[in-house]
């Protein structure tokens, strides 16, 4: 069973119309998972037959708005989703902060997986500054694993991050802070907001943990990456925990 995670920030004039169209296509392809659509873009978590799911993605990329859609993939023995859900939301990930969308203020600077692994190998970035990994996920997620020595925050919801981060801001001032999450969407929004809130030393890990696993594997990462479906969590080889237990 092919599993995909993808998001794309782009202006959507008629999100309800797009949501209906994507739902119909996914349903026809016998896909399950979640499709989120908002005025700021789309967020997809889908699983199904390889050919059917790749056909869905090919059709989606024929729309010029999604031609550059980046998809993270993995496989599982069984369908990890119970059904197909499609929702229209105010945001494709709820953060409820002004100036947190890259559509309005531009993307925060990124660091790619290979560069980050090299920095973590040497213990500092290319300017000689210490690197602090900032986990933007909640406590249930980082309980399954996170980057070695990462700053984790005792939050249950992404919207709680700004308040939980506040006591750490002075200590982070002289470091290069790398914001990360599962697939990239939360660390992207968090990094955009932090840059706008005066933390100009923040980067985002491009592609999140799953992108890092795809490109680098498990270097400097302890444990697994929690996912919100029947796979439970993925190891650095992108193997589901539920399959290991089977």
Instruction: Note the pLDDT of residue 98.
Output: 86
- pTM, two decimal places: 0.95
**How would DSSP label each residue in 3-50?**
EEEEEEE---S-HHHHHHHHHHHHHHTT-EEEEEEETTEEEEEEEE-H
pLDDT at residue 245, as a whole number = 59
E runs forming strands in the chain: 2-9, 32-38, 41-48, 71-75, 84-88, 110-111, 131-135, 145-147, 176-180, 202-205, 221-223, 225-226, 233-234
Residues of the chain with pLDDT under 70: 245-246
Torsion of CA 185, 25, 11, 194, to 10 degrees: -10
Q: Is 187 a catalytic residue?
A: no
| pLDDT 10s digits, 37-65 | 999 999 999 999 999 999 999 999 999 99
Q: What domains sit in the chain, N to C, each tagged with a CATH number?
A: 2-88 (3.30.70.100), 102-245 (3.40.250.10)
Give the active site residue among 37, 131, 155, 181. 181
pLDDT of residue 244: 74
């Amino acid at each position: 069973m092919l599993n995909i995670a993808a998001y794309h920030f782009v202006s959507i004039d008629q999100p309800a119309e797009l949501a209906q169209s994507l739902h119909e296509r996914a349903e026809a392809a016998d896909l399950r998972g979640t499709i989120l659509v908002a005025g700021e873009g789309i967020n997809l978590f889908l699983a199904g037959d390889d050919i059917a799911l790749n056909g869905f993605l090919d059709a989606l990329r024929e729309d010029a708005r999604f031609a550059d859609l980046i998809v993270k993939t993995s496989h599982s023995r069984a369908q990890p989703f119970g059904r197909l859900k499609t929702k229209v939301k105010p945001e494709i990930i709820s953060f409820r902060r002004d100036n947190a969308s890259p559509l309005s203020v531009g993307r925060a600077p990124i660091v790619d997986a290979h560069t980050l692994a090299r920095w973590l190998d040497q213990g500092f970035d290319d300017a000689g500054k210490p690197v602090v990994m900032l986990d933007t996920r909640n406590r249930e997620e980082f309980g399954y694993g996170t980057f070695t020595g990462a700053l984790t925050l005792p939050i249950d919801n992404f919207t709680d991050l700004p308040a939980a981060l506040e006591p750490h801001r002075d200590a982070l001032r002289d470091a290069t802070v790398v914001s990360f999450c599962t697939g990239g969407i939360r660390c992207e929004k968090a990094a955009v907001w932090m840059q706008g809130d005066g933390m100009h030393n923040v980067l985002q890990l491009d592609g999140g943990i799953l992108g890092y696993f795809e490109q680098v594997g498990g270097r400097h990462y302890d444990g697994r990456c929690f996912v919100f479906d029947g796979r439970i969590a993925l190891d650095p080889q992108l193997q589901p925990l539920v399959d290991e237990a089977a």
